[in-house]
Amino acid sequence: MGTKALGSSCPTQLVHTGCVEGLVCAEEPHGNHAHPTCRQICDPLAADPGCPASRICTAGYLLGGLTGACIAEHEDEEMVGLGEPCGSKVKSGIPCAPEAGKRYQGACVQESGGMVCRRLCALAGGECGAEGVCQDTLGLGTLGVCQP
């Protein structure tokens, strides 16, 4: 654990040690000039991920488990729903399918027909049901997406 407080600048290589307990050093997953800062940890798969008002949980900041970071909700994120095509200029892993200001339910991933918004799942016992199988498409190790 580190000494940096919420909102403090931090080096991303110090994910485990740069910020005080309960925070993670993370960049926002968009924009060209994102600066890593200490952000509140959240659970991207929980119905109530634990972010304060005006923040939304996004996945991809792993601390040895299924951990996300609370970021500002952005109008420029992919507002498409699960299973819908993402924009043509979107990079793989960009959050999509926002759920009532709580969390992004999915991530855009490359498939044969282009970028598609797919539901996030836990690789260990991830249940996707009719949406397919939980795949490590994002390369995060513990968190994947449901793909047919």
Beta-bridge partners for 116 = 85, 109
* Phi-psi domain of 130 (left: phi exceeds 0; alpha: psi -120 through 50; beta: other): alpha
Residue type, 74: H
| pLDDT value for 140 | 72
| pLDDT value for 113 | 85
| pLDDT value for 84 | 93
Flag the least confident range among 21-30, 40-49, 78-87, 112-121.
21-30
Any idea what the Cα angle at residue 35 is, between residues 29 and 39, rounded to 5°? 70
| pLDDT value for 34 | 63
| pLDDT value for 16 | 57
| pLDDT value for 134 | 92
Whole-number average pLDDT of the chain:
80
Contacts of residue 135, defined as CB under 8 A and 6 or more positions apart, other chains included, come to 144, 145, 146, 147
- Confidence category of residue 139, pLDDT binned at 50, 70, 90: confident
| pLDDT value for 78 | 58
Per-residue model confidence as pLDDT tens digits over 63-121:
444 578 888 876 555 578 999 999 877 788 888 888 877 898 998 999 988 899 999 99
| E-assigned strand segments in the chain | 23-26, 37-42, 55-59, 68-72, 95-99, 103-111, 114-122, 133-135, 143-147
Listed residue (12, 74, 78) closest to 39, CA to CA: 12
| pLDDT value for 77 | 57
| pLDDT value for 30 | 53
How many C-beta atoms lie closer than 10 Å to residue 132's C-beta? 14
